[in-house]
Structure 1
Amino acid sequence: SGGQIDLMWINGETFHQLKTSQLLFGPFASRLPNYRLVDTGNAIIKYDFEQPTEGYESPWSIAQLALIYNSDKISDPPRTIPALAAWIKANPGKFTHDASFTGTTFLKMLLYTNSGGIEQFQGKFDSALYAKKSQELWAYLNELKPYFWRRGETYPEDVAKLHSLFANEEVYFTMSFNSGEADNKIMQGILPKSARAYVLQEGTIANASYQAIPFNAAGKAAAMVLSNFLLSPEAQYEKFIPAVQGSNTVLDLEKLAPQWREKFRTAPGRVASVPFDTLRKYAKPEIGPGYHLRIHEDWRKYVLKAK
C-alpha cells in the first residue's frame, strides 16, 4: 500500500510486463457488478495483445483500424487490399500512411493479409517466419511506393498530420485507430463533412484498452468503484458519442436493457463512422507483440530509406 496511483489506463506490452512482474492487484474484474455486462465472449477483450487478462484488468474501450475516404472524390472506395493497391496505382500521389502507430497498424494488416492470414503471427516471435514474410511485405510496399504521396520519399509523422493532408485534399484517404473518429473530427472541423470511414473485407486489427490497479494502490476499493462506473452503460455510452470521443464500447449490447441497446444503435452524430455490428464482424486480433516493434523499425530501413 501507499502507492500514488490507484487506477491506470493500460494495454499491450505494459500489461504483460506489470502482470509478469506481479505488480498488479487482482484478479478483481469479475468482482465488479457491471462486469456482467461486458462482452466476455469477444476474444479482442479476453486477450490483451494475446495475453489472457485473467481479471487483472477491466476493459474500457475497443479500438479498430478504419480507413477514411473523401466521398466527394471517391464514390465507391476499394473494399479489399488488392483493390486498394489498384486504386493507389490509378491515382498516384493521393494515398499515404503515417510513420507512427496508426501507420504501423496498417502495415501489420498488410503483413498478415498478403501472406496467408493472421494466425501464423500469433504467439511467440518466429524469426524465420518474420524474415521471409517481412521481405515480401517490403517488396510489395516498394512496388507501391512511387505511387504514394510525394512518391513515398516522406511520410506524415503522425495521424494528425495525415488528417491535415486529407483535409487539404492532398490525399483522398486517411485512417484512424478510433473507429468513431471520422464523426468526432468532422465535429471539430478537422476533417471535411465528406469524410466517411469503412473497414476492408479482409478485416482490420482491433484491440482493447483497460483499467488496472497497481499492487500497492492506497485506494483499491475506491479504484474498483471507479472501474465499475466506467463499465456502466452511462459511462460507456458517453464515450461512444462522437461529440465526446466516439470510441467503441466493451459492453455486449444483448446484455443491456432494451432502452440502452436502442441508444447505442441510434447514437446521435454517428454518420461517418463504421456501424457497430460491422466493426465486430471484421475485427481481427493483434499479431504477437514481438512483431510490432520489428515492423516499425524495419519499415524505416527497408522502405522509407530504401532507394
Structure 2
Amino acid sequence: MKKLLSTVGLAATVFSTSSLLSTSAFATDWQEIEAQAEGQTVYFHAWGGSQEINRYLQWADTRLQQQYGVTLKHVNVTDIAETTTRLIAEKAAGKNTGGSVDMVWINGENFKSMKDNALLFGPFAESLPSWQYVDKSLPVDVDFSEPTEGLEAPWGVGQLVFIHDSESLYNPPQSFSEMLSYAKAYPNRLTYPRPPEFHGTSVLKSMLIELTDNDPALAKPVSEAQFDAVTAPLWKYLDEFHKVAWRGGKQFPAGTSESIQLLDDGQIDLAVTFNPNAVYSAQASGKLEESTKAYAMQYGALSNIHFLAIPWNAKSSAGAQVAINFLLSPEAQSRKGDINIWGDPSVLSSDYLTGSAQNTQQFKSVAEPHPSWQAAIEKEWLKRYGS
C-alpha cells in the first residue's frame, strides 16, 4: 500500500509552508483517504470557456461518483485570479477550515500568489498513487520557473498555437513580424483575445519573447527599470498592429472560444488556443471546418504545464485528493488526451496511455517568463489599450 507523509514529515511540512493544515487530512494510508472522501462534494474552480472541457469534467464527475462516491462540482470561472482573491479574503477572515473552494486549476502567477500567501494544502502531489505514471522528464516540479514543492499536481501540457483555414490562408504568418506585415496588407483580419484573459496575455508574452529574442531578464523577477526597457518593442509593435487589427484594435475577442467562432464565421484569419490539439476536437464537434489547421510560430510555442491544487482550508480535502488522483490516472488522462474529446496533451508517460492520447501533437517549446512579468504586462496593456 502506498504510504503518505509520516508524522515527522508532516510536522516539518506544516511549519515550513506556514500553512494551517488539518492533520486528519494527511491520512497515513491511501485507503483511509478514500474512506474519508466518500460522500464528499468537491467544489472545483476551473476555467469554463470550452464546451469540450466542460463535458470532460461532467464525465469525470460521473466516474468519481461511481468509483469513489465523490461528487465533482465544476465552478465555472473566467479567471482563476477571482478564486485567489476569494481565498485571500477567507485567510484574512481567519476561515482556516470549511472553505468554499476544494480544488483549483492553476498555474503561473496564480500559483505563485497562492503559494506566497500560504493558501495551499500540501505537499501532496508525490503522495498520490497516480504519481507513478507521471512523465518526470517534463518540468512537472516547476511552474513558470517557480518550484511547485508538491503543492500542485501536473494535469496537462499547454502550448500557444494559432489556427487557420488552409483553404483561405494557405501560408499563414510564421512570426509576429510577418503577422504585422499581413495585418497591414489585409486590415481588419487579425486580432487576439483581450488581456487579462490568459490567452490574450499569452499572445503578448509570446510577442515579447520573439521581439526581444527572449531577453534573459524575462526569466527573472521583473523590476520597474527592466520592465520599461524590455517591453518597449512590444508597445511599439502593438501601436502599429492595433491600427490595422480587427475593429481597429478598439475591440477584442473575450477568449479563445470567441476567437475560434470568429474564424469559423470568416471574420478573422487566425484564432488562438493553448491546446495544440483543440482544432481536432473543434472539428469533431462541428465548430471548425476540416480544412483548419494548428501551427506554432517559427520561434516556438509558449509552453507550460497546468496544474491542480487544493486550498489550505478546503472542506473536502480528502475528496480533492481522490479527484486529482483520478484525473491523473491512465483512464482519465487517455480520455482527456483523445483528440475527439479534449486533446489536451498528457503529463503521463506514453506507455500508460491509450488511443490518440499517445500521439497528441506538440510543437517546439518556449518557456514561460517569470510569473511576475504577467501581472506587469497586463497592467500596462490595460493602461494603454484597455479603455
Shorter-chain TM range is 0.7 to 0.9
Q: Percent identity?
A: 32
Q: Cα deviation per residue 1:118-141 (whole Å; 9 max; x = unaligned)?
A: 532122112112101222211122
Q: Which of 255, 266, 284 is residue 366 of structure 2 equivalent to?
A: 284
**Mapped pair 1:215 → 2:312:** yes
Q: TM-score, normalised by structure 2?
A: 0.68
**1:69-80 maps to which residues of 2 (within 5 A)?**
69-80=164-175
Q: TM-score, normalised by structure 1?
A: 0.84
Which residue pairs with 1:164 in the alignment? 261
Deviation larger for 82-91 or 55-64: 82-91
Q: Provide the C-alpha distance between the structure 2 equivalents of 1:196 and 1:84, rounded to a whole number of angstroms.
A: 17
Counterpart secondary structure, 1:246: coil
Q: Cα deviation per residue 1:161-202 (whole Å; 9 max; x = unaligned)?
A: 322221121111111122222122222332233221111121
Q: Which of 120, 124, 145 is residue 24 of structure 1 equivalent to?
A: 120
Counterpart secondary structure, 2:231: helix
In structure 2, the gaps of 5 or more residues are 1-21, 23-96
Q: Cα deviation per residue 1:42-91 (whole Å; 9 max; x = unaligned)?
A: 23x32123211111111112221110011111112222333333322332
**Mapped pair 1:264 → 2:357:** yes
Deviation larger for 21-30 or 102-111: 21-30
**1:99-114 maps to which residues of 2 (within 5 A)?**
99-100=194-195, 101=197, 102-114=199-211
Identify if the C-alpha distance between structure 1 residues 74 and 128 changes in structure 2 by more than 3 Å, giving closer, same or farther.
same
Once the two structures are TM-superposed, the CA of residue 220 in structure 1 deviates from its matched residue by: 4.3
Which residue pairs with 2:185 in the alignment? 90
Which residue pairs with 1:183 in the alignment? 280
Q: Give the total of aligned pairs.
A: 289
Flag the structure with larger Rg.
2
Identify if the C-alpha distance between structure 1 residues 194 and 212 changes in structure 2 by more than 3 Å, giving closer, same or farther.
same
Q: Which of 34, 37, 48 is residue 130 of structure 2 equivalent to?
A: 34
In structure 1, the gaps of 5 or more residues are 267-274
2:283 is matched by which residue type in structure 1?
A: I
1:77 is matched by which residue type in structure 2?
A: P
2:295 is matched by which residue type in structure 1?
A: Y
Identify if the C-alpha distance between structure 1 residues 302 and 222 changes in structure 2 by more than 3 Å, giving closer, same or farther.
closer
Q: Provide the C-alpha distance between the structure 2 equivalents of 1:118 and 1:284, rounded to a whole number of angstroms.
A: 12
Q: In angstroms, what is the RMSD of aligned CA positions?
A: 2.4
Q: Which of 248, 263, 267 is residue 151 of structure 1 equivalent to?
A: 248
2:144 is matched by which residue type in structure 1?
A: F
Is the CA contact 2:160–2:202 (under 8 Å) kept in the aligned structure 1? yes
**Mapped pair 1:197 → 2:294:** yes
**Mapped pair 1:139 → 2:139:** no
Is the CA contact 2:194–2:253 (under 8 Å) kept in the aligned structure 1? yes
Q: Provide the C-alpha distance between the structure 2 equivalents of 1:148 and 1:21, rounded to a whole number of angstroms.
A: 39
Once the two structures are TM-superposed, the CA of residue 304 in structure 1 deviates from its matched residue by: 5.9
Once the two structures are TM-superposed, the CA of residue 113 in structure 1 deviates from its matched residue by: 1.0
Q: Provide the C-alpha distance between the structure 2 equivalents of 1:234 and 1:199, rounded to a whole number of angstroms.
A: 29
Q: Provide the C-alpha distance between the structure 1 equivalents of 2:383 and 2:204, rounded to a whole number of angstroms.
A: 14
**Mapped pair 1:115 → 2:202:** no
Identify if the C-alpha distance between structure 1 residues 215 and 293 changes in structure 2 by more than 3 Å, giving closer, same or farther.
closer
Q: Provide the C-alpha distance between the structure 2 equivalents of 1:46 and 1:79, rounded to a whole number of angstroms.
A: 31
Identify if the C-alpha distance between structure 1 residues 153 and 225 changes in structure 2 by more than 3 Å, giving closer, same or farther.
closer
Is the CA contact 1:118–1:287 (under 8 Å) kept in the aligned structure 2? no
Once the two structures are TM-superposed, the CA of residue 236 in structure 1 deviates from its matched residue by: 0.5
Identify if the C-alpha distance between structure 1 residues 190 and 48 changes in structure 2 by more than 3 Å, giving closer, same or farther.
same
Identify if the C-alpha distance between structure 1 residues 8 and 92 changes in structure 2 by more than 3 Å, giving closer, same or farther.
closer
Once the two structures are TM-superposed, the CA of residue 106 in structure 1 deviates from its matched residue by: 0.5
Q: Provide the C-alpha distance between the structure 1 equivalents of 2:217 and 2:355, rounded to a whole number of angstroms.
A: 39
